[in-house]
Chain A
Amino acid sequence: MRIGVFICHCGSNIAGTVDCTKVAEIAKKFPDVVYTAEPMYTCAEPGQTAMEDAIHEYRLDGVVVASCSPRMHEATFRRTVERAGLNRYMFEMANIREHVSWIGKEKDANTNKAAELVEIAVAKLRNNRPLTAKTFDVTKKVLIAGGGVAGIQSALDCADGGVPVILVERESTIGGKMAKLDKTFPTVDCSACILGPKMVDVAQHPNITLHAYSEIEDVSGYVGNFSVKIRKLATYVDWEKCTGCGVCSEKCPSKKTPDAFNEFTGTTTAVSISFPQAIPKKAVINARHCRQLTKGKCGVCAKFCPTGAIDYAMQDSIVTEEVGCIIAATGYDLMDWTVYREYGGGAYPDVITSLQYERLLSSSGPTGGHLIRPSDGGEPQNVVFVQCVGSRDKSIGRPQCSAFCCMYTAKQAVLTKEHLPESQSYVFYMDIRAPGKMYDEFTRRAMEEYGVEYIRGRVSAIYPDGLGQYVVMGSDTLLGEPVEIKADLVVLAVGIEAARGTRALAEKLRISYDKSGFFMESHVKLKPVETNTAGVFLAGVCQGAKDIPASVAQGSAAAAKVMALFARDKLENNPQIAFVDLRRCVGCGKCIRCCPFGAIKEKDIRGETKAQVIETVCQGCGLCTSTCPQGAAQLSHATDNQILAEVNALCR
């Protein structure tokens, strides 16, 4: 074998703390190495061209590049060697940047370690075999989990591009959090007016199938061929028959049902449609508050329903959809702010969340858009907004910024003035984060034109003064003094967390999530939409806090990724998968039981039971390899022999 070794300087990233020339000299003595080079930037065009030239000139049949992490440039260099006529798997990478030069300062030690890593890579490469990918068909259909604004945008873009869309929404209506908002910043235009038409488009688009009030039960398969089980929760109303007339809700006697859509600022009926623009506009019975379902006595809605849609015996049903890609757009929920006992822990009726305040401002909310105090129905004169409640707070384990609270707080303060011109708003803030287009201008306007008083400081405590008002104990750090404000209403800008159930969904999708529960993108800068599971993409706040424009942009970006993938009729698998040596296999079936992907099946070969790998299903995790008692199951490109060769090289 003729091996070429390239020791990359990476500018001064590697050469600064590793003697690359010495590493190259040492590498020359390794078996089968016939050529070494030290490019300044191997990944740059001249570096790649030089590598191709060297492969031709020295008739190399294997290449080792010692440079950065394979996560950075393995794919790049595999393409380079392929262009020069080699099989892309006749290439190995030694990570001497992240694993050496960036973490150690001592040059001699670094140089030794780099040389050893190169030796390991050479030893493995000598045992490499050319691998070829198999092709398989793609189901050109996408499933989108979550019908908020990001999911809606993804759905519409995919559907417009001719891709059939399955949109799954947990609530009875799509629209997500945006549907609950009264107005949106920085233009203060009505949220329902800009989201409503998009929701109608979803309902009317021939390429979109909507499963509302449904949850994802199970996901199996792989990119191009996912099979998703969807649990359609029992609504107790036959949506085929329901016309959304609302008679059931008018007649329902159970009028004290907590209203989740209105963030529990009001009550609704046990059978109801969440809001006038709901899509689908269908009624749902809340089983916990329905008199028929809890006490077995009522049946009023069934009696009055003009189409006979009420079905008290309805059960959950399971639908299975075959799709090629999945977009997760599951959004967020507010964190449980009641951990702040010093703010009353939820015991004070006039200390409310920002989302509750949106419902109080909204004309489709419980007060019809009339801004009142929840406790006594009076109009608040002094409204205090407290920012960063549950954000940037290490003491409760939430160090992150929720990204959009600064802006909606400014918007809510402006709206307060518009609703009640006599009122005065105060905002306790730590930093105003308004980096978007026209954002800072907006917060300035809140101060300059609407007279909102911004006070730089956190709030230590809120307590009722006994006379109907609340004392907000804050500080003005710019003044350097503690301050107190008597408020009629306190609005907390509560921080966000990943939506409930996100972790369970991540496990079903086999994607990872960060400490706060947000899904992890494949690369924080360069692959913000992809996940580490091929064919699963992210859109909206489920990936990290962002506002509506950014969510919409990411929704479109995810759709573009799906369409790019579907532009190909066939996909190639990754050939770094398991195979079974039939001579060694004793047919014990341990590999079949341990495989998390169901990628190994039993096969009868001349009367003997053997294991066989389904090549398009295997993900190359290697569990079977380490489970097999006979060493019959092996992982291509990481066989026992290759790993032992690496160990031998190091231990010699």
Chain B
Amino acid sequence: MSNITDIRLKRDAGFIAEVEAASGQKLSTCYQCGNCTAGCPAGFAYDKQVNRIMRGAQLGLKDDVLNSRAIWMCLSCFTCSLRCPNNIDVAAIMETLRHMARKKNMVSVRKVEKFWFSFLNTVRAFGRSWEIGTMALYMLRSLRVFTDIDLAPEALKKQKLPFKPYVVPNGGAGAVGRIFKRYRERADREGVRP
């Protein structure tokens, strides 16, 4: 019976402590009411629903949780945190799990990470996001050239896709760039993948 989870063997107490320390949340306060799952607008794209991620984290099932697709499809809308009857910041736990997965090179949905890089690259350059730049970078990185291209005409018509980036004036863009630089230095120092 290989599909039975041996909780004693798979339970990673260190992982539980790590999640709690990084997120500032106490996992044992979750009583599995499922309110997070009930309100999650991205749940349709999850492999495991939020309450199952929470249960996995509670039990210390590290690989199950970190390899899940769900933590990458999370929108960070914080509906789960708002509705949790036990005041758990569930979105913060999802965020923590994403960080942990990246540190351990266990990112299961690479294209989400690629999208973020594309988005952040434009912010680093101009101090604000630049949609068309994000689009182009993402297409290059993911080789998904025609993804969502059908939305472009409508977005262009509504002037949501400016061809020129908006650069934050008065040295603002440079200041934002320096924040990225500082983060990168810290990431190198601490051995975190940027």
Are B87 and A394 closer than 8 Å at their CB atoms?
yes
| Contact for B85 among A456, A458, A476, CB less than 8 A | A458
* Binary contact readout B21-47 vs A (1 if CB under 8 angstroms, 0 otherwise): 000000001011111111110010000
In the assembled complex, the CB of B70 is this many whole angstroms from the nearest CB of chain A, namely: 11
Contact with A along B71-115 (1 / 0, CB 8 A): 000000001000111110000000000000000000000000000
Which of B1-9, B48-56, B122-130, B135-143 contacts its partner? B48-56
B85 touches A457 (CB 8 A): no
- A480 partner residues in chain B, CB cutoff 8 A: 37, 48-49, 51-52
On whether the beta carbons of A395 and B49 are closer than 8 Å, the reply is no
**With contact pairs A480-B51, A480-B52 given, residues A474 and B87 touching in the complex (Cβ less than 8 Å):** no
Question: Using a Cβ cutoff of 8 Å, how many contacts connect chains A and B?
Answer: 71
Give a binary string over B169-193; 1 marks a CB under 8 Å from any A CB, 0 the rest. 0000000000000000000000000
Contact A482 B33 (CB under 8 A): no
Residue of B nearest to A390 (CB): B85
Interface size of B by CB at 8 A reads 22
A342-B83, A394-B86, A394-B87 are contacts. A458–B35 as well, Cβ < 8 Å? yes
A459 at the interface (CB under 8 A from B): yes
A247 shortest CB reach to chain B, Å: 51
What residues of B have a CB within 8 angstroms of the CB of A388 in the complex? Answer: 33, 85
Which residues of chain A in 264-320 are interfacial with respect to chain B, using CB atoms and an 8 Å cutoff?
A: none
Q: A482-B40, A482-B43, A482-B49 are in contact. Are A476 and B86 (CB under 8 A)?
A: no
In the assembly, what is the distance between CA of A461 and CA of B40, in Å?
Answer: 11
- A430-B31, A460-B79, A475-B49 known; A481-B37 Cβ under 8 A: yes
Tell me the dominant secondary structure on chain A's binding face. Answer: strand
* A480-B48, A480-B49, A480-B51 known; A475 vs B86 contact (CB < 8 Å): no
CB-CB under 8 A from B29, the residues of chain A are 394
* B35 lies within 8 A of A475 (CB): yes
A54 at the interface (CB under 8 A from B): no
Chain A interface residue count, Cβ-Cβ cutoff 8 angstroms? 23
Known: A393-B85, A394-B85, A460-B79. A482 touches B37 (CB 8 A): yes
Taking a contact as CB atoms under 8 Å apart, the answer to whether B37 and A459 are in contact is: no
Distance (whole angstroms) from the CB of A386 to the closest CB of chain B: 11
Q: Which of A393, A395, A458 sits near B38, CB closer than 8 Å?
A: A458
Could you tell me if A476 and B84 are in contact, using CB atoms closer than 8 angstroms?
no
Distance in angstroms between the alpha carbons of A344 and B33 in the assembled complex? 20
Q: Which residues of B contact A475 (CB under 8 A)?
A: 34-38, 49, 51
Contact with B along A473-490 (1 / 0, CB 8 A): 111110011110000000
Task: Give Cα distance in the complex from A476 to B43, angstroms.
Answer: 13
Quick one: closest A residue to B32, CB to CB? A477
Check if A22 is an interface residue, CB within 8 A of chain B: no
Of chain A, the residue at the smallest CB distance from B80 is A460
A392 touches B34 (CB 8 A): no
CB pairs A–B below 8 angstroms (30 shown):
A342-B39, A392-B31, A392-B85, A394-B29, A395-B84, A395-B87, A430-B33, A457-B34, A457-B35, A457-B37, A458-B85, A459-B35, A459-B38, A460-B35, A461-B39, A473-B38, A475-B34, A475-B36, A475-B37, A475-B38, A475-B49, A476-B34, A477-B32, A477-B34, A477-B51, A480-B48, A480-B49, A482-B37, A482-B38, A483-B38
Additional A-B contacts beyond A342-B83, A457-B35, A474-B34 (14; CB < 8 A): A342-B39, A393-B85, A395-B86, A395-B87, A458-B33, A460-B83, A461-B39, A474-B38, A475-B38, A476-B34, A480-B51, A481-B49, A482-B40, A482-B43
